[in-house]
Structure 1
Amino acid sequence: MSASPRVAPPLPRVAPHSPWRLRDFRLLLAGAAAGQAGAQVTLVALPLVAVLELEAPAFQVGLLTAAETAAFLLVGLPAGAWVDRMRKRPLLVRADVVRALAMASVPVAGAAGVLTMAQLYAVALVTGVATVFFDVAHQSWLPQLLPRERLVAGNGALEAVRSTAQVAGPGLGGGLVQLVGAHLAIVADACGYALSALFLLGVRKPESPPEPPAAGTSLRGEVMEGLRFVLGHPLLRVIAAATALGNFFTAVLMATQTVFLVRVLGLGPGAVGLMLSVSAVGGLVGALCAGTLAGRFGQARIIWLSAAASGPFALLWPLTGRGTVALFAVASGAVFFGAVVYNVAQVSFRQALCPTRLLGRMNATLRFLMWGTLPLGALAGGALAEAFGARAALWLCAAGFLAVPLPLLLSPLRRMRELPVAATVEEPPHEAPGTGERDGTVAAG
């Protein structure tokens, strides 16, 4: 008597083109979740170390925020050329290890009673440099793991992970600070980066070796090639301008919100963490809705629409008082919703637009242009809060968010529904260094 045929169990119901079907992408997401969760704890804990344990004035808190992002100005441009010459996974793992060790030094020094603001600045700067290389390599590696038609879904999933960490992490961070103290809470960040490195080590897909630089090409020539690609494209130029403006005022907010919440509104560490967690729900909803909204309104249209619709909510930040604390969370939730929808659309566009050999330089150039304003905004916010109070800094922040959509509304994006697709992209020709000619550009769609 023959044995009955074995029936395979049904496969999970996953969309045919979903990146979730790929094991390596799931590991990438797990690593992102671990690293982001730890980083969100530090988002609450590190400023609280300065404010509560070291009693730093507002300008020094702003300077700490500036130190975290200064690397985008210091090494942002050459980082792209270096990343294009290296395999991405080993670089990501090394960056995670550096960040884990740097963060671990804070609780060690705190337990020994020797923690100073100088060490916090150094940790922030070292971690920032590692983050520059990590972020550029991460965005350049994703198109090697996913087909280009899955990039919007992949970036949406990564934004969902980041937004989930932004919801859970600050609340966890505030609770840890309340329970064990600010400096010991940073242990969670060191563990998160270590876990991220372990997950990335599990990715199996062979990585194509980087193309060797052309004979006679210098690092400066490669950096200039990335600059020409970005600045020579009208849509990338305007996206860079709007994002740089938004990041400047985001840094003003980041530099002053802890001072405002603790010293003006009188919130404790647990309440500060809960406030930031509730605020981040908007970002999570934005990540989950980004693909649907881009399909309904068009990827080009949703870029300017998300910024224009969410910006006015920033006016609620400086209007928040001790009896209306919920206004701060509502404002942050709405602004974060718009920012995440915007990011999913524009990051997916530039990943699909750029030739593979230029991905590192393109991402680094845009990070330099977009994120180079972060330390400047943090210094401006800290100085303004020191001189006129944290509420005055938040008024500047609110006015700035109203101006963010203007470059987008004055550009060709306002008349477009969809962005150019990969088929319209021409690979920029390899040029001899120093010719000064523009790389190939993309026809407007």
Structure 2
Amino acid sequence: MKLDIASDTDNKAWPLWSLSAATCFLLVLAFSGTNGSFFWDYHVYEKGLSCYSQGPDPYVCASGDFPFVYPPIFLKIFSVFDFRTAFVFLVLAAAAGIVCVCVSLSLKSFIPYRRLAPCLVLGFLIGGSGFASIQTGNISVFAHLLLVSLSYFLYTRRSGYTLTAHAIAIILFSAIKPYFLAYALLYFFLPRRSLAAFAGVMLSVAGIYIAQPALYPQLWAGFQGAIYNQIVQHGDAGLTIFGVFSRLGMGKVGFILHLFLMLLVVLISAALRYRHGQRSIQIRSASELFYFLAILILLNPRLMSYDFSVFSVCLYLSMILSSRGDGWVGLFLKLFPFVTILPLCLEGLFDIRVHSLTYYFLATYVLLVAALACHWPLRASWSKAPACVAHER
């Protein structure tokens, strides 16, 4: 009888979820203000590799509005392997991974795909971030999606193959962008810890970054200079509180505040879990996993729109798994993207420019507070809510 009631509720709710997702997508598509240029970050990668193959310093040759700011290991790897093939493979693997995650969640959690899929679309389009991420062609968004997918399958069906794939992906992406190393923290919180994998990943990435300045001193110096110019001189410091303070010339203060805020989030989460009977630090449900992955992404003080889009997807998945999208949570998940898309509409309709740092910055912390209020901790203890545990596993 309860299953029939739940099914009837879903049948009534799914058109609203689908309509909300479709409308959100059309608004983003209409008001994103594209200038006819797509995949500009992808072309930056190609330009850097082209400069490197021809001899000039890629950090000088490929400078400009979108400079090449990736470490020498990137040049060394993709001067051997075809970058275009590798990039296409990454995009397809990320897309396949997230689709498989959604199908698996629908089968295991009793949340219909017709509700889960629109939720995923809405999370990805907050502030237009998902569309902007794909439009830039930045490698980070696809790397995040692949690592989130691998993390989910490592949690649900632990095996040597999934652990190896997960560890190799962390090493590869961390060699390009060090903040992907945060995903290795997951090994401490799985139902079966993987301390050997954590040590292997840390030592491998440390070895890569120790070797680069020793083996390629000129390239490394160029890389450091490019990073400094991008973050400090151009003020490209991201969307978190660190980015806000960096624009005010107080980057060190912003960095300390970011660390303090992340520590506060961790302490609040731990205290609330303990209060509600979750004494173990192990991840106990899929909704907790996605919350945890969102926090790992947010550890990066220089959070960009392509990082933010996957951060918001993780929190959206976490919230809908915890609540099934019912009550105030469902209303929030359906309406919040439209609030963040409003600046795009103002610019497209009235040429009123609102800097993306403003609404991404606010959206980041509003989403975090909403996720805490929604399900962290669960509204009832594990002993009193077996059904909730069952539909999340």
Please give the TM-score of this superposition, normalised by the length of structure 2.
Answer: 0.31
TM-score for both structures, normalised by structure 1: 0.29
The higher-RCO structure (CA 8 Å, 6+ apart) is: 1
